């Protein structure tokens, strides 16, 4: 792959200074063929080394029992894939439990992460005193690392010592809610913390999108006597369509790849109910040294996400028709 | 979950290694005589060959790390022809990092390792045999506690020289005990004393024994109790999981009933058992010996530490141990190996200073010396050495232990009955053990 590019690059030597127009034309044609490849080369090299090659290696790993420390890494064909789907293997239960956990988290968090930031953006798009300050405040949690917010919320949400339960108790609500250790509270906490943490990012993207919508359209809508809701429905939403598609797609992928929050806040409890797919893949591949199995899981998971993303794009295309 | 030393340190083990690589090759090492003699391969008695640089990796990220580095400094000044440099990582990252580093030739020469990791790393050819070190230094079981000494062996070969051991201890909050009318200088030692103390505490409005559902430290408490009840986690060949036997279920039931009977709150969070102990909301906690130094930083807390009370039919305590290992190098440099052996021998003899870091020295002579006895808290846990329950030596056992701890988690959070949780855990553990047998050919 990269070799081909090198050949192309080698051919694209700078042409000698042209003496005549004819020669200049000829050399321009010759460079003309190589130029696009030259421009593409840096990206293609990076993509080849860090994108394509790992994918091919991953496929290669997934058909072996691969422990890079053991001398023999036997070829096992599709066994790594089969055991993900055969209920008597050691990994079957954990694997589908992690898929379930990821699905629950994605289904619960994506709608909130799409709608809440949109509301925020609409508010922050109006002009009022202190607007910049509020924009900064809502964006602030996003700059913190997952380790920081994980630790912070785990202590705040502790069932017996946490501030959250103490405050709830002070206003007469139940003060022994197991926010991070039992169901359904664990999911509520994970989703809530994630919304608090990442809403600011989506809100900023929405804000940029809102500012791209031409004010004339709103003016015209007002002239026609459109209510605020109608203006939102017929001007704002269609204007935001590409931004919405981007936000939904990236948010679905981000939620499906959730790892840090459950690793730190619930630690997978109760049992391993909140252990996500990515966490489980890391555990299998890096800690239990079953790289072959982990690679098979990654590929199955990537295919699942691809299906979801394609469905997502389709859905939006339909609405345009 | 890989067993590592401090729950507080696990919190940030998100794969972001704090590579506090501290190079300790002192500037004063230039005076070493560079007579290139033959390497003295005498298993660590002395080293007279040319100067060698040794890399050592460990996971001592807490106060113990400073003590360790001071010891290495002392070694370097005493040995002109050996220069040891230390790199410290979080234990969690460390065990992920080490195999790759070793196989690519960027690994350390000496690696400090927990006893339960030795078999895995030996089976995978990361570390070398050290039988000759033990023989030449005339080390034998008599110099060490038998439990610790046997733990360094895998497939009848020695891979680790034990440095220390760190058991679970019984911490009691004297202030809280006084509040409930208990004698703060007589911590309970039997099942009857323990339960009656809890009843008194409950009368005084204190839930005296917070049971955490997490490995640190509820899972380790259950591990100790399971052994106290005479049960085992695995059969002798480590081919089958046995932690759902009747005594194991009884031990689990006793512990989970602490929550049901209100001696512990439900849903105890990670570290909440320990934090509540320090803040006087909890009277008893079974926690690692490493918390001694942490508690000493809080003079306002009045506490004591003792061997675990005997709740079951025999005394037992969860324990692990740090071992020295020598990493296989692609270019087998005999001089480096000899130098490494000298270092291991020297440090094991100087393990008294190491004890101040909150560990029980593995060497008997150190343990029985007056100086060690002058560390009252730490030496009070030394008796546990005789009956400590170390995890068995089997490669790939880490993931099986995770299954065990997750089973307890389900029982402690009331997701399943103790019997159901342990039955489910065992059936999964058996599949994992079978996978490991196929993989490691054991």
pLDDT score recorded for residue B132: 83
In this prediction, residues A240-247 reach a mean pLDDT of 91
Distance, in Å, from the CA atom of B307 to the CA atom of B86, rounded to the nearest integer, reads 33
Tokens found for residue B407: 């089973």
Give which of A154, A269, A284, A294 to mutate to test B binding, by max B Cβ within 10 Å.
A269
Residues 6+ apart with CB under 8 A from A278: A102, A257, A258, A259
**How many residues are present in chain B?**
442
Contact B353, B366 (CB under 8 A): no
A231 close contact with B: CB closer than 8 A? no
Q: Which residues of chain A neighbour B440 with C-beta distances below 8 Å?
A: 70
Tokens found for residue B171: 């911490």
Q: Among candidates A144, A96, A123, A107, which has minimal Cα distance to A251?
A: A107
CB pairs under 8 A between A and B: 110
In this prediction, residues B353-362 reach a mean pLDDT of 86
Distance, in Å, from the CA atom of A31 to the CA atom of B229, rounded to the nearest integer, reads 82
How much of chain A exceeds pLDDT 90, in percent?
Answer: 66
Contact B428 A93 (CB under 8 A): yes
Instruction: Answer positive or negative: Cα dihedral of A194, A149, A256, A314.
Output: positive
pLDDT in tens, B210-234: 999 999 899 999 999 999 999 999 9
Of A146, A270, A283, Cβ closest to residue B410: A270
pLDDT band at B419 (very low <50, low <70, confident <90, very high): very high
In this prediction, residues A274-303 reach a mean pLDDT of 93
Residue B236 Cα to chain centre, angstroms: 22
pLDDT band at B442 (very low <50, low <70, confident <90, very high): low
A29 close contact with B: CB closer than 8 A? no
Contact B338, B40 (CB under 8 A): yes
Pairing state of beta strands B322-326 and B161-162?
A: antiparallel
Contact A269 B124 (CB under 8 A): no
Which is more confident, A154 or B26? A154
Three-class secondary structure of residue B216 per DSSP = helix
Tokens found for residue A95: 């694997």
Print the SS3 string covering B111-175.
Answer: EEEEHHHHHHHHHCCCECCCHHHHHHCCCCHHHECHHHHHHCEECCEECCEECEEEEEEEEEEHH
Whether residue A184 has a cis bond before it, omega within 30° of 0: yes
pLDDT score recorded for residue B334: 84
B266 close contact with A: CB closer than 8 A? yes
Instruction: Answer positive or negative: Cα dihedral of B297, B298, B303, B307.
Output: negative
Whole-angstrom CA distances from B23 to B20, B26, B55 are: 9, 8, 9
CA atoms within 13 A of residue A68's CA, in its CB half-sphere: 16
B214: DSSP letter? S
pLDDT in tens, A47-81: 999 999 999 999 999 999 888 777 778 899 899 99
Dihedrals phi, psi of B361, to nearest 5 degrees: -60, 145
In this prediction, residues A176-197 reach a mean pLDDT of 94
Pairing state of beta strands B153-154 and B157-158?
A: antiparallel
pLDDT in tens, B36-90: 333 445 666 778 888 999 999 999 987 788 889 999 999 999 999 999 999 999 8
Distance, in Å, from the CA atom of A27 to the CA atom of A9, rounded to the nearest integer, reads 15
pLDDT score recorded for residue A17: 47
In this prediction, residues A34-43 reach a mean pLDDT of 90
CA atoms within 13 A of residue B14's CA, in its CB half-sphere: 17
A213 close contact with B: CB closer than 8 A? no
Distance, in Å, from the CA atom of B168 to the CA atom of B286, rounded to the nearest integer, reads 6
Three-class secondary structure of residue B370 per DSSP = helix
pLDDT in tens, B116-128: 999 989 988 889 9
Nearest CA in chain A to B416: A271
Three-class secondary structure of residue B41 per DSSP = coil
Residues 6+ apart with CB under 8 A from A301: A99, A277, A281
pLDDT band at B317 (very low <50, low <70, confident <90, very high): very high
Q: Among candidates A270, A166, B407, A199, which has minimal Cα distance to A262?
A: A270
pLDDT band at A24 (very low <50, low <70, confident <90, very high): low
Find residue A292's DSSP bridge partners.
none
pTM of the entire structure? 0.85
pLDDT score recorded for residue B43: 63
Kindly report which listed range (A314-318, B30-34, B363-367) carries the lowest average pLDDT score.
B30-34
Tokens found for residue B285: 């906690």
Contact A154 B270 (CB under 8 A): yes
First-last CA distance in chain A: 39
pLDDT score recorded for residue B338: 87
Distance, in Å, from the CA atom of B220 to the CA atom of A291, rounded to the nearest integer, reads 29
**How many residues are present in chain A?**
321
Contact A270 B415 (CB under 8 A): yes
Q: Which residues of chain B neighbour A69 with C-beta distances below 8 Å?
A: 99, 103, 124-126
pLDDT band at B277 (very low <50, low <70, confident <90, very high): very high
B130-135 long-range CB contacts below 8 Å, 24 or more apart? B130/B158, B130/B159, B130/B160, B130/B161, B130/B325, B130/B326, B130/B341, B130/B344, B131/B157, B131/B158, B132/B43, B133/B43, B133/B44, B133/B158, B133/B161, B133/B341, B133/B344, B133/B345, B134/B43, B134/B158, B134/B161, B135/B43
Instruction: Answer positive or negative: Cα dihedral of B306, B228, B385, B13.
Output: negative
Whether B20 has a pLDDT exceeding 50, the answer reads no
pLDDT score recorded for residue B363: 86
A88-93 long-range CB contacts below 8 Å, 24 or more apart? A88/B431, A89/B431, A90/B428, A90/B431, A90/B432, A90/B434, A90/B435, A91/A284, A91/A293, A93/B428
Of B14, B415, B432, Cβ closest to residue A90: B432
Whether B35 has a pLDDT exceeding 70, the answer reads no
A289 close contact with B: CB closer than 8 A? yes
Print the SS3 string covering chain A.
Answer: CHHHHHHHHHHCCCCCCCCCHHHHHHHHHHHHHHHHHHHHHHHHHHHHHHHHHHHHHHHHHHCECCCCCCCCCCECCCHHHHHHHCCCCCCHHHHHHHHHHHHHHHHHHHHHHHHHHHHHHHHHHCCCCCHHHHHHHHHHHHHCCHHHHHHHHHHHCCCCCCHHHHHHHHCCCCCCCCCCCCCCHHHHHHHHHHHHHHHHHHHHHHHHHHHCCCHHHHHHHHHCCCCHHHHHHHHHHHHHHHHHHHHHHHHHHHHHCCCHHHHHHHCCCCCCCCCCHHHHHHHHHHHCCCHHHHHHHHHHHHHHHHHHHHHHHHHHHHHHC
Q: Among candidates B30, B14, B113, which has minimal Cα distance to B76?
A: B30
The per-residue pLDDT of chain B, averaged, comes to: 86
In this prediction, residues B337-356 reach a mean pLDDT of 87
Distance, in Å, from the CA atom of B46 to the CA atom of B38, rounded to the nearest integer, reads 12
């Amino acid at each position: 792959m990269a070799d081909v590019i090198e050949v192309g690059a080698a051919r694209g030597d700078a042409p000698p200074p042209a003496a005549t127009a004819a020669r200049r034309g000829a050399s321009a044609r010759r460079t003309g063929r190589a130029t696009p490849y030259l421009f593409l080369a840096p990206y293609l090299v990076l993509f080849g080394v860090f994108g394509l090659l790992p994918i091919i290696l991953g496929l290669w790993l997934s058909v072996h029992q691969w422990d890079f420390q053991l001398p023999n890494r036997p070829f096992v064909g599709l066994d790594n894939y089969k055991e993900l789907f055969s209920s008597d293997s050691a990994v079957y239960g954990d694997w589908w439990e992690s898929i379930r956990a990821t699905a629950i988290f994605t289904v619960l968090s994506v709608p909130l992460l799409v709608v809440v930031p949109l509301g925020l953006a609409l508010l922050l798009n109006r002009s009022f005193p202190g607007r910049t300050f509020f924009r900064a405040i809502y964006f602030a949690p996003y700059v913190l690392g997952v380790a920081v917010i994980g630790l912070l919320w785990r202590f705040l949400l502790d069932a017996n010592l946490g501030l959250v339960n103490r405050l709830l108790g002070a206003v007469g609500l139940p003060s022994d809610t197991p926010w991070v250790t039992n169901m359904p509270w664990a999911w509520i906490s994970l989703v809530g913390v994630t919304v608090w943490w990442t809403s600011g990012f989506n809100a900023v993207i929405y804000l940029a999108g809102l500012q791209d919508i031409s004010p004339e359209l709103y003016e015209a809508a007002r002239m026609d006597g459109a209510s605020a809701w109608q203006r939102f429905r017929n001007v704002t939403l269609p204007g935001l369509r590409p931004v919405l598609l981007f936000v939904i797609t990236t948010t679905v992928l981000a939620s499906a790849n959730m790892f840090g929050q459950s690793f730190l806040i619930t630690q997978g409890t109760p049992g391993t109910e909140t252990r996500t797919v990515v966490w489980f893949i890391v555990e299998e591949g890096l800690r239990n040294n079953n790289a072959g199995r982990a690679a098979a899981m990654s590929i199955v998971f990537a295919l699942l996400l691809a299906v979801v993303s394609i469905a997502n794009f389709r859905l939006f295309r339909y609405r345009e028709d | 979950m890989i067993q590592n030393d401090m729950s507080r340190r696990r919190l940030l083990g998100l794969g972001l290694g704090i590579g506090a690589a501290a190079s300790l090759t002192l500037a004063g090492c230039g005076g070493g005589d560079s007579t290139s003699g033959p390497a003295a391969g005498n298993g660590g008695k002395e080293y007279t060959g040319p100067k060698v640089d040794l890399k050592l990796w460990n996971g001592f990220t807490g106060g113990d790390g400073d003590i360790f580095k001071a010891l290495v400094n002392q070694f370097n000044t005493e040995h002109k022809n050996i220069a040891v440099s230390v790199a410290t990582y979080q234990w969690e990252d460390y065990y992920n990092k080490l195999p790759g580093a070793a196989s690519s030739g960027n690994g350390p020469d000496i690696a400090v390792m927990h006893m339960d990791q030795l078999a895995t790393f030996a089976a995978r050819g990361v570390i070398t045999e050290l039988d000759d070190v033990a023989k030449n230094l005339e080390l034998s079981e008599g110099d060490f506690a038998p439990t610790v000494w046997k733990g360094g062996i895998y497939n009848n070969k020695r891979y680790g020289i034990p440095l220390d051991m760190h058991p679970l201890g019984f911490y009691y909050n004297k202030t809280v005990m006084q509040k409930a009318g208990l004698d703060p200088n007589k911590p309970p030692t039997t099942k009857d004393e323990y339960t009656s103390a809890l009843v008194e505490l409950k009368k005084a409005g204190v839930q005296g024994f917070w049971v955490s559902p997490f490995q640190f430290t509820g899972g380790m408490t259950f591990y100790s109790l399971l052994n106290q009840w005479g049960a085992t986690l695995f059969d002798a060949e480590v081919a089958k999981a046995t932690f759902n036997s009747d005594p194991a279920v009884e031990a689990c039931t006793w512990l989970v009933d602490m929550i049901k009977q209100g001696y512990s709150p439900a849903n105890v969070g990670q570290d909440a058992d320990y934090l509540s102990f320090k803040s006087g909301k909890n009277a008893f906690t079974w926690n690692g010996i490493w918390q001694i130094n942490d508690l000493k930083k809080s003079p306002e807390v009045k506490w004591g530490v003792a061997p675990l009370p005997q709740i079951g039919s025999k005394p037992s305590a969860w324990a692990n141990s740090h071992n020295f290992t020598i990493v296989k190098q692609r270019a087998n440099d005999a001089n480096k190996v000899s130098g490494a052996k000298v270092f291991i021998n020297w440090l094991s003899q100087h393990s008294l200073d190491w004890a101040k870091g909150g560990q029980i020295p593995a060497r008997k002579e150190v343990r029985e010396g007056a100086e060690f006895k002058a560390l009252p808290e730490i030496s009070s846990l030394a008796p546990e050495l005789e009956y400590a329950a170390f995890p068995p030596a089997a490669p790939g056992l880490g993931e099986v232990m995770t299954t065990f701890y997750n089973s307890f988690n389900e029982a402690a959070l009331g997701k399943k009955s103790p019997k159901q949780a342990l039955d489910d855990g065992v059936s999964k553990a058996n599949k994992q053990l079978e996978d490991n047998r196929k993989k490691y050919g054991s």
